């Protein structure tokens, strides 16, 4: 069973994805590939080939690193003990990564041999001695190391000598032979001993080491008691390199591990960074639980079980744990992702990129709240002398395509080209893995030549997620979460969400069942199959409503008029009716189409792939919410116009009593109310559920959209009252001013109006309840999005700095 233990993995790379770092800008054409920084706090300026053996997706990469570190440490110690140069071949381990070990041992040997009084040895001799060096092109970092050793210890060196000796590598080495003297040695042997000597029970500075939380080749993390403050902290002990404490000190956020301070032990060249102790383990431990649990058995309890398994204290109940326990597994993933996206957005506002998002760098509290840790290779533009290249690195399997390109020696992209969307991609990989238990990409698990491995990883990511991987998503995965993850994992940054704030809003949407089903219809539903294709629901509803109104008008008014005028007048009246209908209906229909044109044209255009400006989308959203009102108002105005045109004709050709005329006018208006109010809720329900969600998720919404939604909800209450009152008003108006004989003539229309009115109210009320919940869900979505933007996102124009390189 998984341990669930807090594996503080900063330099501790026990899981998938090796560490790369390039402290200097990438060298064009560098065949050695990215630098693998075994101790990420060491600034490695030149490319090394340690990456050839450490680019793995499993534990052997970390084991190889320890073997390499041990070999270098032993070889360096042998040099210090011996009176004559030790035999390098005796220290080369017979293990995977042998070539990388040879390269690093040669660097140590060069440094010792070229010192004053040493026995210098040229690179050509090593190449002849070790087949690992002759079998492949000599790595440029090894050429550079010999050049620097010779120059460092006073020998005049002509760069052209290396041009003749290594013509194939010259183009990669030439730009750096005049650079500052900085070693490319990945492993610094004397540093490992300092960390190895630390054991539980020791005291260092103000801290008593109580328990080991994690370790790697060049860093240790302990649970420690800080004596001066009488508190427990997580104490990370590394060597005095890097600027992680300065970076994290800028970040005060509920979903980022809080760093209290740092201390330096000058005589031992150690840096102590102490931070809050987060007791619930990491997402790496949760992933072990995911892999060991059947997909249909995963839910929020899985997260809590993983936390409780490694917790030192008995977990206590909390509202947060209760909330998590009630979630499905996809909802749990979205719950975690929303908080991590919040943390990344907060960091990005302050010019900080993380650039190493992975499960081991996400710590969990006992309640299940995630906290982002390990900003050791992040870049902050508020630290003096910082540049993106100096901090560049990360775990290969979680890197975005653009970050892999920045590692690639033949692609002209640098670390300074990355922005928060690169972290977004890595978070998408993490969430996908958490959701399915598998990595979204089929990367190789065995090490290969660094440049070749990078190229293959790039090709895989550029192709996107394979259908077979998509099919592994859980059956209960909401369509919204699927869309969000696929958007995060888009190969091109411009195809992802623009900010992590937008991603957080979308993940929050995944937790609102009604809102997410509105925005992303469930697979197989009618809306999912038809998308935004226009279907004639609105037109059919309008025609149906007008037909009901005309039917009532015919059953009531027409029958009364026909029984009270002469045959000649009947012919004239029929002709007038035909003329009025022919005039009013086209004008009314044309006006309706004009007022609601965007309700149809914009979704139709979006379905065909057309891109609209934000202002046009805003107008389309406003028109959609006002669509039903405009149709109802236009229709009723048309009925009033028809009344004016027909009323004069009836008065002119018929000898009707004043009471009968009043009754005809009142009943005509009731018929108009039937025509416009009975189909109203079907129209509103259709446009709100069919078109509006897609419009709300595109462009920039604001509180104005929330106000419009709220206003429509209030109007719907009014319309429901009108629908309910139409039968009662119709009965009163239908028999008013009529004698008994006239009432007997239209009693059928009154009964029809009552029955139809009751049925219409039942349907309208059912639609009203659905519409009310839909509007409330959409308002929650828009309000959360608007508050996120106005609450702190708009401050970005003031406080956010672009992530860029700052000259040293």
* pLDDT level of residue 255 (50, 70, 90 thresholds): very high
788 has pLDDT over 70:
no
For range 285-300, the mean pLDDT? 94
Domain boundary assignment for the chain = 64-176, 189-277, 282-511, 534-789
Which pLDDT score is estimated for 97? Answer: 75
Q: Model's pTM, two decimal places?
A: 0.69
Higher pLDDT, 333 or 374: 333
Secondary structure of residue 33 in the 3-state scheme? coil
- pLDDT above 90: percentage of residues in the chain: 43
Q: What is the mean pLDDT of residues 776-798?
A: 64
pLDDT at 373: 85
Question: What pLDDT was estimated at residue 178?
Answer: 56
pLDDT at position 177 over 80: no
**pLDDT given at position 379:** 38
790 confidence band (pLDDT: 50, 70, 90): low
The least confident of 20-29, 165-174, 748-757 is 20-29
What integer is the mean pLDDT of 182-207? 70
pLDDT for residue 2:
37
For range 393-409, the mean pLDDT: 78
DSSP state of 160: H
How remote is the C-alpha of 116 from its chain's centroid?
A: 57
- The residue with greater pLDDT, 25 or 719, is 719
- Judge whether residue 466 has pLDDT over 80: yes
For residue range 530-566, list pLDDT tens digits in order: 766 767 888 999 999 999 999 999 999 888 888 888 8
**Looking at domain 282-511, does it have CATH number 3.40.50.410?**
no
Does position 56 have pLDDT exceeding 60, yes or no?
no
Task: Flag whether pLDDT at 397 surpasses 60.
Answer: yes
Does residue 280 surpass a pLDDT of 70? yes
Structure tokens at 521: 């219809």
Tell me the pLDDT tens digit for each residue of 411-435. 777 767 788 999 999 999 999 999 9
Question: Which of the residue ranges 195-204, 428-437, 482-491 would you say has the lowest mean pLDDT?
Answer: 195-204
How is domain 189-277 classified at the architecture level of CATH? 2-Layer Sandwich (3.30)
In sequence order, the 6+-apart residues with CB closer than 8 A to the CB of 177 are 144, 147, 159, 162
Whether residue 528 is predicted with pLDDT greater than 70 in this model: the reply is yes
Torsion 15-17-18-21 (CA) sign: negative
Residue 372 has pLDDT above 80, yes or no: yes
Q: Which segments are annotated as binding site?
A: 236
DSSP string across 326-368: TSBHHHHHHHHHHHHHHHHHHHHHTTEE-----GGGEEE-TT-
Residue 66 has pLDDT above 50, yes or no: yes
Cβ atoms < 10 Å from Cβ of 303: 28
pLDDT number for residue 137: 82
The candidate with the shortest Cα–Cα distance to 390, out of 374, 379, 381, is: 379
Q: With contact defined as beta carbons under 8 Å apart, do 85 and 114 qualify?
A: no
pLDDT at 648 over 90: no
Strand order in the sheet with 203-204: 203-204, 207-215, 220-226, 231-239, 270-275, 259-265
Cα–Cα dist 733/238, whole Å:
89
Average pLDDT over residues 657-681: 93
Binding site for ATP: residue ranges?
236
* Average pLDDT of every residue of the chain: 80
Nearest to 110 by CA among 143, 139, 158: 143
**Confidence category of residue 610, pLDDT binned at 50, 70, 90:** confident
Q: What does the pLDDT average to over 341-368? A: 90
* pLDDT of 15 over the 70 cut: no
Q: Please report, rounded to a whole number, the percentage of residues in the chain having pLDDT higher than 70.
A: 79
What integer pLDDT is reported at residue 572 of this predicted model?
A: 84
Highest mean pLDDT range out of 109-118, 119-128, 184-193, 762-771?
762-771
In the prediction, which pLDDT does 803 show?
37
- Residue 250: per-residue pLDDT: 67
Least confident of 16-30, 114-128, 492-506, 658-672: 16-30
- pLDDT band per the 50, 70, 90 thresholds, residue 249: low
pLDDT tens-digit readout, 234-246:
998 887 655 444 5
Q: How far is CA 89 from CA 123, 188, 317, 650, in A?
A: 15, 19, 60, 115
pLDDT at 765 over 80: yes
Asked if 349 contacts 800 with a C-beta cutoff of 8 angstroms, the reply is yes
Whether 276 has a pLDDT exceeding 80, the answer reads yes
pLDDT at 269 over 80: no
* pLDDT for 206 beyond 60: yes
Mean pLDDT of 349-377: 85
Six-digit token string for 234? 């997580």
Say if residues 569 and 576 touch (Cβ distance below 8 Å).
Answer: no
Q: Looking at residue 268, what is its pLDDT?
A: 77
Q: How confident is the model at residue 287, as a pLDDT?
A: 94
- CA proximity to 641, closest of 680, 592, 588, 591: 588
Q: In this predicted model, what pLDDT tens digit does every residue of 316-325 receive, in sequence order? A: 668 999 999 9
């Amino acid at each position: 069973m998984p341990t669930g233990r807090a594996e503080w993995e900063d330099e501790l790379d026990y899981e998938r994805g090796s560490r790369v770092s390039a402290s200097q800008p990438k060298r064009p054409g560098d065949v050695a590939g990215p630098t693998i920084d075994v101790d990420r706090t060491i600034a490695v300026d030149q490319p090394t080939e340690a990456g050839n053996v450490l680019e793995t997706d499993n534990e052997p990469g970390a084991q190889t690193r320890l073997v390499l570190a041990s070999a270098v440490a032993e070889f360096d110690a042998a040099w210090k003990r011996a009176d004559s140069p030790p035999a390098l071949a005796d220290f080369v381990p017979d293990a995977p990564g042998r070539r990388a070990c040879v390269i690093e041992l040669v660097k140590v040997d060069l440094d010792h041999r070229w010192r004053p009084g040493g026995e210098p040895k040229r690179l050509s001799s090593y190449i002849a001695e070790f087949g690992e060096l002759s079998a492949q092109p000599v790595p440029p970092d090894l050429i550079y190391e010999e050049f620097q050793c010779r120059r460092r210890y006073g020998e005049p060196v002509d760069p052209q000598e290396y041009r003749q000796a290594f013509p194939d590598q010259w183009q990669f080495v030439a730009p750096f032979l005049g650079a500052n003297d900085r070693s490319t040695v990945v492993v610094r042997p004397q540093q490992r001993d300092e960390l190895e000597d630390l054991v539980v029970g020791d005291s260092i500075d103000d801290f008593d080491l109580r328990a080991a939380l994690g370790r790697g080749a060049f860093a240790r993390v302990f649970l420690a008691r800080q004596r001066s403050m009488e508190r427990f902290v997580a104490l990370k002990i590394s060597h005095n390199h890097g600027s992680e404490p300065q970076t994290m000190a800028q970040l005060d956020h509920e979903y980022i591990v809080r760093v209290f301070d740092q201390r330096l032990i000058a005589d031992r060249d150690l840096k102590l960074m102490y931070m809050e102790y987060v007791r619930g383990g990491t997402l790496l431990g949760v992933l072990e639980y995911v892999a060991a649990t059947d997909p249909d058995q995963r839910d929020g309890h899985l997260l809590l079980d993983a936390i409780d398994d490694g917790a030192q204290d008995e977990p206590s109940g909390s509202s947060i744990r209760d909330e998590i326990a009630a979630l499905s597994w996809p909802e749990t993933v979205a719950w975690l992702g929303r908080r991590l996206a919040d943390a990344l957005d907060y960091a990005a506002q302050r010019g900080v990129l993380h650039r190493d998002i992975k499960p081991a760098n996400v710590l969990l509290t006992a309640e299940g709240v995630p906290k982002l840790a390990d900003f050791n290779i992040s870049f902050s533009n508020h630290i003096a002398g910082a540049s993106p290249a100096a901090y560049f690195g990360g775990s290969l399997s979680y890197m975005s395509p653009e970050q892999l390109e920045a590692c690639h020696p033949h692609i002209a992209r640098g670390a300074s080209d990355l922005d928060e969307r690169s972290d977004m991609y890595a978070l998408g990989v993490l969430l996908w893995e958490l959701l399915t238990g598998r990595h979204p990409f089929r990367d190789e698990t065995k090490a290969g030549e660094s440049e070749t491995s990078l190229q293959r990883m790039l090709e895989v990511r550029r192709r996107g997620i394979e259908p077979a991987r998509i099919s592994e998503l859980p059956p209960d995965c909401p369509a919204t979460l699927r869309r969000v993850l696929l958007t995060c994992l888009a190969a091109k940054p411009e195809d992802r969400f623009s900010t992590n704030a937008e991603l957080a809003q979308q993940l929050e949407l995944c937790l609102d069942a009604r809102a997410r089903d509105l925005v992303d219809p469930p697979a197989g539903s009618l809306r999912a199959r038809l998308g935004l294709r226009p279907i004639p629901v609105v037109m059919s509803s309008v025609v149906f409503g007008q037909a009901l109104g005309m039917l009532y008008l015919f059953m009531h008014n027409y029958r009364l008029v026909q029984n009270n005028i002469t045959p000649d007048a009947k012919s004239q009246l029929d002709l007038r009716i035909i003329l009025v209908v022919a005039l009013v209906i086209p004008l009314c229909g044309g006006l309706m189409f004009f007022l609601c044109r965007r309700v149809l044209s914009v979704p139709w255009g979006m379905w065909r792939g057309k891109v609209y400006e934000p202002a046009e989308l805003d107008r389309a959203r406003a028109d959609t919410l006002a669509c039903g009102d405009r149709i109802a108002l236009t229709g009723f105005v048309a009925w009033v116009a028809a009344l004016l045109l027909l009323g004069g004709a009836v008065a002119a050709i018929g000898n009707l009593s004043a009471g009968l005329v009043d009754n005809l006018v009142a009943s005509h208006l009731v018929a108009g109310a039937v025509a416009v109010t009975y189909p109203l809720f079907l129209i509103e329900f259709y446009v709100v559920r069919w078109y509006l969600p897609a419009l709300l998720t595109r462009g920039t919404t604001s509180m104005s959209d929330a106000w419009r939604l709220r206003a429509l909800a209030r109007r719907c209450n009014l319309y429901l009252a009108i629908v309910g009152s139409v039968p009662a008003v119709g009965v009163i108006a239908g028999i008013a001013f009529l004698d008994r004989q006239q009432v007997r003539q239209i009693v059928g229309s009154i009964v029809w109006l009552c029955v139809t009115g009751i049925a219409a109210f039942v349907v309208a009320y059912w639609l009203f309840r659905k519409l009310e919940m839909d509007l409330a869900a959409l308002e929650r979505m828009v309000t959360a999005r608007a508050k996120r933007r106005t609450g702190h996102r708009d401050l970005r124009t003031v406080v956010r700095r672009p992530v860029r390189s700052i000259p040293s």
